[in-house]
Amino acid sequence: MAYPQIAAFARLANGDVAPVRSIAGQSTMISRADHDLQYNSATDEFVNANPEAQAIMTFRGDSDGEAKPIRIIQGPHTQISFPNHGIGLDNVHNELFVVDKEFILVFPRTAVGDVAPLRVIRGSDTMLANARGMLVDPVRNLLLVGTNNGLLVFDRTANGNAAPRAIIYGPVSGIVKRKPASQTEALSEARGGGGGPAIGSIRLSPKGYVVSVRGRVAEPQDRAGAPAADGKTTNGLPAGITAWSLDDIAKIHGRGDLAPAFVLSSPTGKMAGGSIALNPNEKEVFLGGLHSMEVYSFPEIF
């Protein structure tokens, strides 16, 4: 795993292009295994995690080169273990949520240093298993977390061994644990390298859609011209950018298998990957995966 930079690309970048900025180097305190990054447009900052150093770091929006983080949450009181997935920002209540595999830590958004979390959602009732993507909705007072048990919906202020108020899971929703698409993927999953949870990276569109990627995404051999071992798609489904209505999710209590409002697929049935970002200005969805990115127009969800 080569170069753990945070690179910035122009929105209209296309083809083989170099980044316009690269935040990299010892001073940045960045490490590899960073699987969530949140840009805060209200404060012009971005937040990411260094799972190896058990740190949550905030950078100025215009950071470049060997920029240092302006705030770091790190230390024995933080309870941070390996936060390589899921960061949530709540500017209304000024809180920062951190997913840490099987629990969630909530800090003051501007916390610095060795601070104890305000709340910890942890315990067997939470159903937090391999928790990954997260989003906070301060309007509906919801906290959504993608896990191996499905998309879990908590009250925003949940604390302790709190059970989710709703669990979205099932074939209608498309939120099901992925079946490995190849021997390589299966073996990788068995070893914990690239296993697929029920739902990973999630984002909230301004129009109130919860957006994620379901189904099989492209593997390196797809680009190398070699077919995947079985040449099939996951669960018979093509990869798709999937959008569920958050208003509909909010109506569910208990288990639900909610149909998505939209599924956008590519003609090839494959997409770049499961990492996702939304550009509300031009109504675009960015996807990232192994060594590539794609941009889709998706005005229906904005």
Task: Please tell me the total number of residues recorded for the chain in this structure.
Answer: 302
Is residue 10 a contact point for other proteins (CB under 8 A)?
Answer: yes
Residue pair 112/127 in contact (Cβ under 8 Å)? The answer is no
Position among 149, 201, 212, 234 found at the interface with other proteins (CB under 8 A): 201
Q: How many residues bind other proteins (CB under 8 A)?
A: 134
With vertex at residue 35, the alpha carbon angle to CA 62 and CA 38, rounded to the nearest 5 degrees, is 40
Q: How far is the CB of 110 from other proteins (least distance, A)?
A: 19
The interface region with other proteins, picked from 90-98, 136-144, 150-158, 186-194 by CB under 8 A, is 186-194
Site string for other proteins, 47-76 (x = CB under 8 A): -x-x-xxxx-----xx---x-------xxx
Is residue 160 a contact point for other proteins (CB under 8 A)?
Answer: no
- 283-302: contacts with other proteins (CB under 8 A): 283-284, 286-300
Name the DSSP letter for residue 44.
T
Is residue 92 a contact point for other proteins (CB under 8 A)?
Answer: no
Is residue 115 a contact point for other proteins (CB under 8 A)?
Answer: no
Handedness of CA 132, 130, 239, 289 (dihedral sign): positive
Contacts of 251 (CB under 8 A, 6+ apart): none
- Determine how many CB atoms are found less than 10 A away from the CB of residue 149: 21
- 136-155: contacts with other proteins (CB under 8 A): none
Three-state DSSP at 300 gives: helix
Is residue 127 a contact point for other proteins (CB under 8 A)?
Answer: no
Phi, psi dihedral angles at 127 (to 5 degrees): 65, 20
Identity of the residue, 125 or 255, whose beta carbon is nearer to other proteins in the bound complex: 255
Q: How far is the CB of 92 from other proteins (least distance, A)?
A: 18
- 23-52: contacts with other proteins (CB under 8 A): 24-26, 29-39, 41, 44, 46, 48, 50, 52
Q: How far is the CB of 179 from other proteins (least distance, A)?
A: 16
Position among 88, 104, 121, 130 found at the interface with other proteins (CB under 8 A): 130
- 232-251: contacts with other proteins (CB under 8 A): 240, 245, 247-249, 251
Q: How far apart are CA 18 and CA 5, in angstroms?
A: 13
Q: How far apart are CA 133 and CA 48, in angstroms?
A: 13
Does residue 261 come out as left (phi exceeding 0), alpha (psi in the -120 to 50 range) or beta? alpha
Identity of the residue, 48 or 234, whose beta carbon is nearer to other proteins in the bound complex: 48
Name the residue type at position 151: L
Q: Which residue has the tokens 């956008």?
A: 264
